[in-house]
């Protein structure tokens, strides 16, 4: 099956960005200043300040996902933490539904090619109507929380992801095989639950195709309080689709002298991963309150950092090894790897095998220590949740 979102030690890509996509709620306040906000990536390479996890996080909590023995969970591909429920998607395209404590509710699986079935699973959740919405090849399916098919609408164009916008509106990220500048090439479409197109946003129609482009990034959608953020391949600007369906520039990435040419981005692996390449590559970002979390590669080294939108300041996380992630200096647990998605709260997954084999012993008296004592190696992954401080002291 096709995995839209793969998680790797090198790159976080949605879909995706994907092996396990993790989302949290809709409580992501937009800064008071007017967008677009410019992010200078060179600031992360020219003696930026350093920040630890404990400077930005108030506390850590854990949720163990328990399923009956007769309902085993396969390798996890996506995790969505919402206001009332947790949704886990495994590689068999099954959807496991839990309450917020991790108690199992039910499993949904309609993988197939018949009516009401899906051969590809692009997930989103309408919290207003409590509908599970699945994008698949040529259609969008709507199920209620009791696994009843409510509606099915046909989509004539190919799309790579879907995200709930508000009320009964959804954003689709389109796949374009047309040449840039083609008036029929669409970036995003907003439609309602009946399949009626509300608005369309064109892709590279009025803009001149870039001669040099941002580091390769899979186009993605990201839910935030004010709407849906749209990241496009070969575009230094991330757009916001507002709840009234307008599309505005929101984040502009300034690569400066570290910008790679399209030839270097699209070249074979020896070009794109050379350790001596003097360009920023494979940029991945996510918005959390007034901070943007950033991960990228430069000269064969992986960088993790935060950009303060209001104060226009870059801070990076120190780490000893390329793939170690961010040190968990609150609970002394295994390193925290930037999640695929987050809104107001940071989340990642702890796999029992990694927890039990880790040389990092959890802080005595912590919830993680208690959890490690009762966790079996064949248990489901544990969701780790970081509550972010309202104001981070840089």
CA distance 298 to 279: 6
On whether residue 28 sits in a domain, the answer given is yes
pLDDT recorded at residue 291? 84
On whether residue 2 sits in a domain, the answer given is no
Torsion of CA 372, 374, 377, 383, to 10 degrees: -60
Burial of 257 (0-12, 13-18, 19+ CB in 10 A): exposed
pLDDT recorded at residue 176? 65
Q: Please check the confidence at residue 380 and state whether its pLDDT lies above 90.
A: yes
C-alpha dist (Å) from residue 371 to 61, 377, 383: 11, 12, 12
CA distance 98 to 102: 5
pLDDT band at 15 (very low <50, low <70, confident <90, very high): very low
Residue, of 134 and 186, whose pLDDT is higher: 134
Report DSSP state, residue 5.
-
pLDDT band at 282 (very low <50, low <70, confident <90, very high): confident
Spell out the residues 6+ positions from residue 270 whose beta carbon is closer than 8 angstroms to its own. Answer: none
Rounded to 5 degrees, φ, ψ at 259 are: -80, 135
CATH of the domain at 235: 2.120.10.30
Report DSSP state, residue 175.
P
What rounded mean pLDDT belongs to the chain?
Answer: 80
H-type alpha helices, 295-365: 352-357
On whether residue 341 sits in a domain, the answer given is yes
On whether residue 298 sits in a domain, the answer given is yes
Question: Could you give the 3-state DSSP secondary structure of residue 330?
Answer: coil
- Contact (CB, 8 A) for 338 and 18: no
Q: Please check the confidence at residue 303 and state whether its pLDDT lies above 60.
A: yes
Average pLDDT of the segment spanning 238-247: 94
Query: How is residue 138 written in tokens?
Result: 């040529």
Residue, of 32 and 130, whose pLDDT is higher: 130
Q: Report the percent of the chain where pLDDT is more than 70.
A: 77
pLDDT band at 184 (very low <50, low <70, confident <90, very high): low
pLDDT band at 8 (very low <50, low <70, confident <90, very high): very low
On whether residue 213 sits in a domain, the answer given is yes
Average pLDDT of the segment spanning 118-132: 96
On whether residue 393 sits in a domain, the answer given is no
Strand pairing of 227-231 and 237-242?
A: antiparallel
Report DSSP state, residue 209.
P
Q: How many domains does the chain have?
A: 1
What is the domain extent for residue 263? 22-388
CA distance 254 to 274: 22
Q: Could you report the per-residue pLDDT of 130-182, keeping only the tens digit for each?
A: 999 999 999 999 999 999 999 999 998 889 999 999 999 999 998 865 555 56
Task: Name the β-bridge partners of 232.
Answer: none
- Contact (CB, 8 A) for 305 and 285: no
On whether residue 339 sits in a domain, the answer given is yes
The pTM for the full model equals 0.83
On whether residue 12 sits in a domain, the answer given is no
Q: Please check the confidence at residue 361 and state whether its pLDDT lies above 80.
A: yes
Q: Could you report the per-residue pLDDT of 50-66, keeping only the tens digit for each?
A: 888 888 888 899 999 99
pLDDT recorded at residue 10? 31
């Amino acid at each position: 099956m096709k995995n839209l979102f793969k998680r790797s030690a090198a790159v976080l890509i949605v879909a995706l960005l994907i092996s396990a996509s993790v989302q949290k709620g809709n409580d992501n306040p937009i800064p008071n200043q007017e967008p677009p906000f410019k992010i200078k990536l060179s600031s992360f390479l020219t003696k930026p300040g350093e920040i630890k996890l404990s400077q930005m996080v108030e506390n850590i909590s854990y949720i163990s996902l328990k399923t009956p023995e007769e309902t085993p969970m396969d390798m996890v591909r996506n995790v969505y933490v919402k206001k009332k429920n947790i949704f886990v998607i495994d590689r068999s395209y099954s959807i496991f539904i839990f309450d917020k404590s991790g108690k199992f509710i039910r499993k949904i699986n309609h993988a197939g090619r018949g009516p009401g079935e899906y051969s590809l699973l692009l997930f989103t959740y309408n919290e207003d109507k409590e509908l599970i919405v699945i994008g698949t090849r040529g259609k969008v399916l709507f199920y209620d929380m009791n696994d009843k098919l409510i509606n099915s609408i046909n989509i004539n164009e190919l799309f790579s992801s879907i995200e709930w916008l508000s009320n009964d509106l959804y954003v689709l990220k389109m796949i374009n095989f047309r040449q840039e500048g083609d008036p029929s090439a669409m970036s995003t479409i907003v439609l309602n639950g009946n399949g009626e197109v509300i608005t369309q946003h064109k892709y590279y129609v009025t803009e001149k195709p870039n001669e040099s482009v941002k580091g390769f990034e899979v186009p993605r959608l990201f839910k935030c309080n004010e709407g849906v953020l749209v990241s496009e391949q070969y575009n230094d600007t991330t757009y916001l689709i507002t709840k009234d369906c307008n599309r505005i520039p929101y984040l502009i990435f300034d690569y400066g002298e570290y910008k790679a040419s399209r030839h270097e981005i699209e070249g074979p692996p020896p070009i794109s991963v050379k350790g001596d390449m003097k360009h920023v590559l494979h940029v991945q970002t996510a918005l959390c309150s007034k901070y943007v979390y950033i991960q990228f590669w430069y000269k064969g080294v992986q960088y993790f950092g935060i950009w303060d939108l209001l104060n226009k300041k870059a801070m990076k996380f120190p780490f000893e090894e390329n793939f170690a992630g961010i040190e968990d200096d609150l609970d002394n647990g295994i390193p925290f790897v930037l999640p695929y998605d987050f809104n107001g709260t940071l989340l990642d997954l702890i796999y029992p095998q990694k927890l039990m084999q880790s040389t990092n012993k959890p802080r005595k008296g912590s919830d993680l220590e208690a959890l490690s004592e009762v966790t079996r190696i064949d248990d489901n992954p544990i969701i780790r949740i970081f509550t972010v401080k309202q104001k981070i002291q840089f």
